[in-house]
Chains A and B, each alone.
Chain A
Amino acid sequence: MTAPSKTAHLLGQKVGMTRVYDENGISSPVTVIKIDPNTVTQLRTMEVDGYSAVQIGAGDIKARNSTMPLIGHDAKAGVAPRRKHAEFRLEDGAESGWELGQELTVSVFDDIKYVDVIGTSKGKGFAGGMKRWGFKGQLASHGVERKHRSPGSIGGHGNNAGKSGRIKKGKKMAGHMGAKQITARSLDVIRVDVENGILLVKGPVPGHYNAWVEVRPATRLYRPKAAKVANG
């Protein structure tokens, strides 16, 4: 759960990456995020849900591809079936400022300099220790045979890592990598194009092209960036 938000979070789709030049001629790598108007599909209230939040929906979906419960849920808000839904918390009791069916466009980020983008990273499958955790692996020669990418020792019974005949939980080993939720924090907003529903943010964003991402105002900035903002 994130801190209560005053500005809406929006759902959009990652389009791809390119570069843009600023007025000084400096090139920035940008990710293009397509954000069509989102609609408020439900309000969470203190009385009913015990907390205050706004649920938003985005993306068109054919009714026959949706489910009856979801169609009914969106119909209650008076909107056509939405493909994706997400929720963001408000201060307790602050939901009165929002109404069902309200449209939220990318213009909510007009005055915002930094955003967080939440998405699902690309799946890497079953990955070894070198790729997954940045282990160095073993030497290329000096007698190393068929173990060049192995993680090495995972601890014996004499040390803390593997005491009492078992390996500690959470030991970094090979395993499934990627395809989990990642938040790219404090990305610079390069451009907000309300007319076309496009948001340009600096740098990469988790997920494949056409992946759904949630964009919110940055909750906290990385220290160097925060210092830069503080110093103007």
Chain B
Amino acid sequence: MDTQKLIESINNESLKSDIPRFDVGDTINVHIRIVEGEKERVQVYQGTVILRKGRGIDENITVRRMVGEIGVEKTWPINSPLIAKFEVIRRGDARRAKLYFLRDRVGKSRRLRDRRRGMKHIEGMTTVHR
């Protein structure tokens, strides 16, 4: 077998097929599996996607949220088995690939406009492989 295909075949085992389409600027719920001893529970983390980078097995997202006055950013590989699922809450209009500027924003200016442009064909699409 061709070497690239061989690595792909290993990667395909961990690639998820049920990731909804979302992009930088969107507000999403990340359902995180947390194992405590024997028990496993799911915690929901809601925030804005400020970064999405990498391809395939190495694709990562960073999700930012405010906890009280403090900004929290978490980064995961999107194919990590520790993530039960993603839910898209709101589409935001991002004009940058990396929304680092949100870190400096305070108050209402922290919000992103809803995305309306080009949404028609996105509705109904369930999976994404960029």
A and B found bound together: yes
A interface residues, Cβ below 8 angstroms from B: 15-16, 18-21, 24-25, 27, 32, 34, 196, 198, 200, 209-210
Task: Identify the stretch in B5-13, B20-28, B104-112, B117-125 within 8 Å (CB) of chain A at 4 or more residues.
Answer: B5-13
Q: Is the CB of B7 within 8 A of A25?
A: no
**Cβ contact within 8 Å between A25 and B6:** no
A8 to B1, CA, bound (A): 25
A18 touches B11 (CB 8 A): yes
A209 touches B3 (CB 8 A): yes
B contact face: mostly helix, strand, loop, or mixed: helix
CB distance from A192 to the nearest CB of B (A): 13
- Report whether A27 and B6 are in contact in the complex, using a CB–CB cutoff of 8 Å: no
Q: Which residues of A contact B7 (CB under 8 A)?
A: 15-16, 18, 32
- What is B's interface to A at a CB cutoff of 8 Å? 1, 3-4, 6-7, 10-11, 13-14, 33, 35, 57-58, 77, 79-82
Do the beta carbons of B3 and A25 come within 8 Å of each other?
no
Find out whether the CB atom of B80 lies under 8 angstroms from the CB atom of A18.
no
* Complex contact A25–B57 (CB within 8 A): no
C-alpha gap A200/B9 in the complex (Å): 13
- Nearest-CB distance from B47 to chain A (Å)? 20
Taking a contact as CB atoms under 8 Å apart, the answer to whether B80 and A25 are in contact is yes
Interchain residue pairs with CB less than 8 A apart (17): A15-B7, A16-B7, A18-B7, A18-B11, A18-B57, A19-B57, A20-B13, A21-B14, A21-B81, A24-B35, A25-B33, A25-B80, A32-B7, A196-B1, A198-B6, A198-B10, A209-B3
